[in-house]
Amino acid sequence: MIVRPKTNWFRMLFAWEGSVQNTILAPLAIILGLSLLALWGHHRSDHFFLRLSPVPFSLIGVALAIFASFRNSACYERYWEGRKLWGQLLGASRCLARFAITVPGLPAAHPEVRRVVDLLAAFAHALRHQLRGTDPADTLARLLGTAEAAEVMRRAYRPHHVVALLQAHIEAWRRQGRLSDVLFAACLAQLDILTATAGGCERIRTTPVPYAYEVLLHRTTYFYCALLPFGLVESTGWATPIVAVFISYAFLALHTIAGELEDPFGQDANDLPLDALTVHIERSLAEATGAASLPPVPVPDEHYRLG
């Protein structure tokens, strides 16, 4: 995610970090070359073979804008749903930590309370790694110890196993008489939220936008932008390169942004900052138990990226 200070409207025009210019520079350069070719052909020959009428481009442009807006709306909905799911994860983790801290006879710094907090943090980290396809071994070893982390790593779906460990610990408290029936049921309800949250994230991660729809929009966008200079040259003349590149920039940028937002759990510049979110969850839980050392506060890098 790009996190940068607010700037005035003029500086925003030249903002580079976090935009998609780098991704679409090559297509824009090709369109600029086609614009120069169309301009050259228009002035060198009255029978230039790709002199097209601008009328179809107006109609196609409107339809393409509508289709692109539908796809962007669908992809942003996936992005926002992912953020809401991680908000639910934070809320459920804090509720379970609060229940653990207030268990009678166990101070907040007690090892059994710390274990619940560490398991909650391990769940968040395991889910992050599961969604991104990265290795959580080091993080799990830090939170759970080498032996238990190795047991979790043997599982295909590690967040689910961490929830099972949490439930086993809470059930042990129930058998010891530390939790009432009401509080035990409340803890199970929060564990259900953790499981549902992980399932919702997996649903987004494993169910992309239908491929046929994406291919159709991709082909239409690029063919439209490639032919656009030849439809504009008759009416825009020497301004054809500027107009064609500007219009193409709008369509290609929207297309690229939608592609980034489609998988909000990835590591593109505009994806959700899962690293920062998991550290925030771990910090808030550790602080509740009075831990002496906390993970450092995540800050954006020199390119304004918050991982």
Q: Hey, what are 302's tokens?
A: 């020199």
Provide the percentage of residues in the chain whose pLDDT is more than 70.
92
The tokens 């801290």 sit on which residue?
Answer: 101
In a domain, 31, yes or no: no
For residue 113, tell me if it sits in a domain. Answer: yes
Share of the chain above pLDDT 90, in %: 54
To the nearest 10 degrees (0 to 180), the angle between helices 158-175 and 146-153 is 130
Evaluate whether residue 3 is within a structural domain: no
CA dist 238 and 26 (Å) reads 22
Mean pLDDT calculated for residue range 168-179: 91
Q: What is the pLDDT of residues 109-151, one digit of tens each?
A: 888 889 999 999 999 999 999 999 999 999 999 999 999 999 9
CA separation (Å) from 188 to 87, 138, 157, 193, 281? Answer: 19, 28, 20, 9, 20
- In which domain, by residue range, is 205 found? 52-289
pLDDT of residue 291: 75
The angle formed by the CA atoms of residues 281, 287 and 290, to the nearest 5 degrees, is: 150
Per the structure, how many domains does the chain have? 1
pTM score = 0.86
Contact between 120 and 281 under an 8 Å Cβ cutoff? The reply is yes
In a domain, 295, yes or no: no
- Whether the CB-CB separation of 166 and 96 falls below 8 Å is answered with yes
Identify whether 24 is part of a domain: no
* Within a domain: 188: yes
C-alpha to C-alpha distance for 50 and 94, rounded to whole angstroms: 64
251-267 pLDDT tens trace: 999 999 898 889 999 88
Helix (H) or strand (E) holding 199: helix 181-206
Count CB-CB contacts under 10 A for residue 34: 22
In a domain, 47, yes or no: no
The answer to whether residue 224 sits within a structural domain is yes
Amino acid residing at 47: H
Q: How far apart are alpha carbons 136 and 158 in whole angstroms? A: 9
**Quick one: tokens of 38?**
């169309």
